[in-house]
Amino acid sequence: MKKFFVFLLILLLILSGVGFWGYQKLTEFVHTPVNAMQDQLLTIERGTTGSKLAALLEQEKILEHADLLPWLLKLQPQLNKVKAGTYSLTGVKTLQDLLDMINSGKEAQFSVKFIEGKTFKEWRKNLENAPHLKQTLQGKTDKEIMALLDIPAVAKTVYEWNNMDGWLYPDTYNYTPNSTDLELLKRSTTRLQKALDKAWSERDENLPLADPYQMLILASIVEKETGIAAERPQVASVFINRLKANMKLQTDPTVIYGMGESYTGNIRKKDLETITPYNTYMIEGLPPTPIAMVSESALQAVAHPAKTDFYYFVADGSGGHKFTHNLNEHNKAVQEYLRWYRNQQKGAN
């Protein structure tokens, strides 16, 4: 009997030793290096168990001896709070790093940049080239996309002209993998609507604009005329003054927009004399739609233009513009600019 108890004690000691050894091995296992490549993505489906996660990591050749993972997760349940999503393995070096990542729920983030002053045609190219973004709009016309975005009735000419320009908010948009291009555009449209509503509701009194859409059209012209935010209120004041005086806007960016693909870098005299809906040298008032995406700076400049009696402006050679009160002053400013330009050309040669 005594021998039996001795044997049993030895057996218990062996088993406890093995158990301790196993516990220690599993505890150390969490520090195992993983084979994660830079920019590699890992997608965890809903309902992924420890066994499924082990199989996935083994299949993707991310973790060796992955069969130990379910035991580790049972031993340390605090590590088993896996959240569905797509995760970036950039910077992940150990199993602990990987588990921390997929337990955090912080999915991989990507971004696409929409730049003010550009057209929807140019923005669509950015969307199509955005990584890990579901493309649901390929093959759809602008008119079909507009219907999906539910643009307000105030912009009814958008539908008449099938023109999306101006109706999206420029910014950098972050998204997670498998987001859709339509979702991004909806976010952009919503932000533009809010910015436009705010600018319209807080606008100065007595602006010669009938509705928010006209404000958006004029803001797009201001956007194209200058990239200097500080002088946009002055640029806006010129166009506001012209509208009040029933003068033609005579702005080159609208002419260029109306020329479409025929514009090759220069505006000729015949271009200024060719009637298009956007040739503001020929038509009265505003063109029918915006000519570009607008920044909030341009919107605010139109909502609160500078109080001036300027009716003209021309480039001054330093990146900005010289503003003048009448045609005589304007012609002198044009001559100054031309002299500067010729000197620059001589210096370049």
Residue whose entry in the numeric block shows the structure tokens 């158990």: 19
Q: pTM of the predicted model, to two decimals? A: 0.81
For residue 263, report the phi and psi dihedrals to the nearest 5 degrees: -75, 125
Rg of the chain in Å (alpha carbons): 32
CA atoms of 135 and 203, how far apart (whole Å): 38
Contact 316, 237 (CB under 8 A): no
Predicted confidence at residue 160, as pLDDT, reads: 65
Residue whose entry in the numeric block shows the structure tokens 């080159």: 252
Contacts of 217 (CB under 8 A, 6+ apart): 166, 286, 287, 288, 289, 290, 291
Strands (E), the chain: 41-44, 85-88, 110-114, 171-175, 312-315, 321-324
Contacts of 139 (CB under 8 A, 6+ apart): none
Residues 2-25: pLDDT tens digits?
A: 554 444 444 444 444 444 444 455
Listed residue (285, 291, 215) closest to 255, CA to CA: 291
CA atoms of 214 and 319, how far apart (whole Å): 27
For residue 68, report the phi and psi dihedrals to the nearest 5 degrees: -80, -15
Listed residue (136, 151, 142) closest to 196, CA to CA: 151
Listed residue (303, 331, 289, 305) closest to 238, CA to CA: 305
CA atoms of 102 and 80, how far apart (whole Å): 9
CA atoms of 307 and 240, how far apart (whole Å): 10
Predicted confidence at residue 14, as pLDDT, reads: 44
CA atoms of 52 and 58, how far apart (whole Å): 10
First-residue to last-residue Cα distance in the chain: 111
Predicted confidence at residue 334, as pLDDT, reads: 82
- How many beta carbons lie within 10 A of that of residue 294, not counting itself? 33
Residue whose entry in the numeric block shows the structure tokens 């031309």: 338
Predicted confidence at residue 306, as pLDDT, reads: 97
pLDDT in tens, the chain (349 residues): 555 444 444 444 444 444 444 445 566 777 888 887 877 888 888 888 888 888 888 888 888 888 888 887 787 777 778 888 898 888 888 888 888 888 888 898 999 999 999 999 999 999 999 998 999 999 998 888 888 887 765 555 555 667 889 989 999 999 998 899 999 999 999 999 999 999 999 999 999 999 999 999 999 999 999 989 999 999 999 999 999 999 999 999 999 999 988 888 888 889 899 999 999 999 999 999 999 999 999 999 999 999 999 999 988 877 789 899 999 988 888 888 878 777 776 665 5
Q: Take residue 112 and report the two structure tokens written for it.
A: 């696409």
Burial of 7 (0-12, 13-18, 19+ CB in 10 A): exposed
Predicted confidence at residue 157, as pLDDT, reads: 58
Predicted confidence at residue 283, as pLDDT, reads: 95
Contact 211, 166 (CB under 8 A): no
